[in-house]
Amino acid sequence: MKRTFFLMLVLAVAAHSAWASVELTSARIYKKQGELAKAAEFYDLAITKEPDNLEARAERGELLGMVAMDAAQMGLRKRLSGDAENPQHVLLDRMMQDYTAVKQAGDDKKIKKLLKALDGQVQEYWWEFYSKALSQDTTYKGMMARESMENAETVIGVGLQNAELAMLLMPGDWSSHFVYAELIGFKGKDDAYVAAWQDALNMLENSSLRTEKPEDYENNRRYARLQLIQHSYATENHAQTIQLADQLLADEPSNVEAVQYKAFSLATLANDETRPPAERDSLKRVALNALSDARTTNPLDENIIYYIGQFNLQLADTAAALAAFDEFLGKAPTDRDVLFMQGLIYLEGEKFGDLNKAADKFGAITKAFPEDGAAWTNYGIALLRQGKTDEGKEAMKKGETFSGN
């Protein structure tokens, strides 16, 4: 039997000697017979003998891809990869090296035909891995929505592994990088997360989506940029947050989220007591302008209005501060801190003194927070100054009780 096979092999070699080496012909025969290990061995020999043989490289790449994608070839995967931790990744990487060599050097009709088949194979493999990564991303988000995080690490790990393989196969595809950045963010918002989103953004900006689907391009670009802005803000890198927000606002002046992150970062810097007073005052004015822009783009956010009140108060524009606080209380009528600030202004402010309003503000706090000693005490003072002696004394007594005096 062995002699018969050897004779067949020799005859096959002779028939193809005009266009293929013995090693390449042998590799093709073994591949056709399903002896993939031997085929891989002879493809290696053929390429060692003729490193520039593009047909051999293309066919070896195809073979490596077949082994990498066939779960039944798990044992061969390990053998060919040298028992690497991730044999599939190793074989697909080697496949891409062969494909790249062919793409860079091939220009005749035969090679172009091979490349067309190879491109189809790569895209098919890419779609499989990308779909799996996207599925894991969706699964994890569903787990978060249900607040059921059992096996979360496994879901992320499988998703990342598939996303990495998708990026290996089509490194210039922006969508693979996007899903990878999303998945790595589930592990933690660290330097790797930032790097992943920067890579995703770069890939998108260099893609054909800008001209083919400009609306989709802008939507995805905005999303990626906001991920970086949010991370900068969350890690208290406020100077960078402002810089990134300004870059986005240069393209989209009315972007609500960018305006807010810029405003809140400026507000945080303005409240930094380690800065010189003159610098802080300057920052407060800049922050006020940004907050005003933020209120225009998002009038429903009470936090913006609160900060507007705070900075106006700190910059001694009491009238503007009171107006902002009134607007804020229209959205959050029982906010203790704002009611207390207004109460003190009306109780002690010379130009803005108003005992009736002071009593109303502190009285509102005592109704919402019946054991607030400071509110009861100031409520009592306002009543006494109005000449309401009995009510004032009763309020003062409650203030002493709830304050622990």
18 and 84 in a common domain: yes
Write out the residue range of the structural domain in which residue 345 sits: 333-405
CA distance 122 to 117: 9
Residues near 333 by Cβ (< 8 Å), separated by ≥ 6? 364
pLDDT of residue 15: 43
pLDDT tens for each residue of 17-73: 445 689 999 999 999 999 999 999 999 999 999 998 888 999 999 999 999 999 999
* Total H helices, total E strands in the chain: 21, 0
Q: Report CA-CA distances (Å) from 294 to 137, 175, 338.
A: 32, 31, 20
CATH number at residue 23: 1.25.40
Domain finish residue from 264, 295, 310: 310
Q: What sign for the dihedral angle of Cα 201, 204, 206, 210? A: negative
Structure tokens at 371: 């054991």
Q: Are 266 and 242 in contact (CB under 8 A)?
A: yes
* Spatial contact of 291 and 307, defined as CB atoms under 8 Å apart: yes
What whole-number distance in Å separates Cα of residue 305 and Cα of residue 325?
7
Q: In which residue ranges of the chain is pLDDT below 70? A: 1-20, 106-108, 404-405
Q: What residues contact residue 216 under an 8 Å CB cut-off, 6+ apart?
A: 209
CB neighbour class for 378 (10 Å; exposed up to 12, middle 13-18, buried from 19): buried
Q: Are 352 and 278 within one domain?
A: no
> Does residue 158 belong to any structural domain of this protein?
no
Considering the domain architecture, whether residues 215 and 281 belong to the same structural domain is answered as yes
One domain for residues 296 and 350? no
pLDDT of res. 355 = 93
The whole-number pLDDT of residue 106 equals 59
Same-domain pairing of 303 and 346: no
Domain assignment of residue 144, yes or no? no
CA distance 135 to 345: 57
Do 228 and 305 fall within a single domain? Answer: yes
Tokens of 286: 């800049």
Which domain CATH number covers 228?
1.25.40.10
pTM: predicted TM-score of the whole model, two decimal places: 0.71
Sign of the dihedral defined by the CA atoms of residues 30, 75, 151, 220, in that order: negative
Q: What CA–CA distance (Å, rounded) separates 114 from 211?
A: 29
Identify the CA nearest to 264 among candidates 302, 238, 226, 285. 238
